[in-house]
Structure 1
């Protein structure tokens, strides 16, 4: 009899997991960094919703990320939540997206002095050190803008509870 109860409990558990999996609505997009900047500028991309952490990367870490983009090396995907107004909220990827926007001089509330990020600590192409976005050769600034990143989008059809749990899981390992 206990084996029968265990088998029924196992089937119920599997059914519960299957229902949860089938209710998750996501899609993948490859978005250029230039498009992300345009979305940010027009208010279609919120990078700092109230639950998001602060931008903390040092200028050296930001510079190495920019170097990674210029070299067209792979970068991890970002995670977005789609709101009822078809606006995207950034769940995971704040440091990467903020670094790009900061280098371009587009990040709001980044630096009250108005100075652009000057690349430093680039360790693969040391010749990038000392450059700002404005001093990069045009071909490199175009390469940077046209670089794509994968975005995993949690669709607006998902419950608010699921959105909370996804944010909690994605952001459990970062800096407080």
Structure 2
């Protein structure tokens, strides 16, 4: 386990014992960011509404209720991509349908209603809705959806084979929904972010950036993915993209600190949300930062290489990486620098005890962030 804000992307808590889970579980830094309270809590408008199963399926099929896919880029979706993909097992799906046939109570849904087109977006309830849609269609994962993991009276039944009384019981069953309204504004989206963050528990929790990518989908998020695919950046971070988007979040951290360092304050998630909301449409500030980012990645790849982002463990250290990137980008905007000079500067930085301290302990604190980027900027300026 690492210090809460070292930036090293390593397993945390007891889950670290699970083999193969290192890239999927949340780090200590991410837990800390999720659990840090916001300075300002945005009020919301919401209401309760009941939907019958038949109506829910019809709305899903018509696109009036949208279950966004993760990272969806859809100009018509103001709050896109909260869901991580369908993960229920067939047993869970069968038991859910059986519960409805038996008239058992079902957990409610959380929906977001867009004012622009009146569509409902699924904030919580993907598994239930997709199961209903698949059962009505009669197909799941390319196979006939017949109930198996259920009581004998329901076994092998498909929707089409349901006796009429059972079909009416299913179609007439109601699911309660809490419907949150959003007008697409930054304030409204921030409120939805805070709601989802509070719902985000159990199973595979989303990281702060995964929620952010979903919420602020647009040109800026598209630019983050473009930068994340640069060969020079991949040679620095690692060939394989991180399945939890940590490499993409690091890019956002670099761009935000390069552009708005003076405005940085904890929690990190709030600072990055503000930046993503303000620059969602890719303005000149982001274009300039993006250009400097590409140049810095190229110089680092040709100079010191991947070691610039790593301490002794060999794993990417976010605090060290962002400071080196921002410091080098600051130098690039003032004067050219050779890959050899970049290498010398990185060696000097990574052997500097003060810089090491700012990338090892309490690295999210305002003063520490300012200090490590100042040290990096001064070192590259003198190179």
CA deviations 1:134-153 (Å, max 9, x no partner) are 11111111110110000000
Match of 1:9 in 2: none
Matches within 5 A, 1:24-35: 24-35=44-55
State yes or no: 1:149 paired with 2:156: no
Match of 2:188 in 1: 159
CA deviations 1:92-137 (Å, max 9, x no partner) are 1111111111111178xx52x3x33110111xx3221111111111
Per the alignment, do residues 106 and 126 of structure 1 end up closer, same or farther by CA in structure 2, a change over 3 Å counting? closer
Between Structure 1 and Structure 2, the one with more strand by share is 1
Q: TM-score, normalised by structure 2?
A: 0.37
State yes or no: 1:128 paired with 2:154: yes
**Alpha-carbon distance in 2 for matches of 1:116, 1:86:** 33
Residues 92 and 171, structure 1, Cα contact 8 Å, conserved in 2 = no
**Alpha-carbon distance in 1 for matches of 2:144, 2:164:** 17
Q: Which has the bigger relative contact order, CA under 8 A and spacing at least 6?
A: 1
Match of 2:3 in 1: none
**Alpha-carbon distance in 1 for matches of 2:49, 2:144:** 29
Which consecutive residues of structure 1, in runs of 5 or more, have no partner in the other structure?
Answer: 1-15
The alignment's C-alpha RMSD in Å is 2.1
Give 4+ residue runs of structure 1 displaced > 4 Å after superposition: none
Q: 1:55 aligns with which of 86, 89, 103?
A: 86
Moved more, 74-83 or 47-56: 47-56
Number of corresponding residues: 152
**Alpha-carbon distance in 1 for matches of 2:157, 2:108:** 26
Residues 103 and 116, structure 1, Cα contact 8 Å, conserved in 2 = no
Paired residue secondary structure (1:69): helix
Q: TM-score, normalised by structure 1?
A: 0.78
Which consecutive residues of structure 2, in runs of 5 or more, have no partner in the other structure?
Answer: 1-38, 69-79, 206-383
Structure with greater Cα Rg: 2
Residues 102 and 116, structure 1, Cα contact 8 Å, conserved in 2 = no
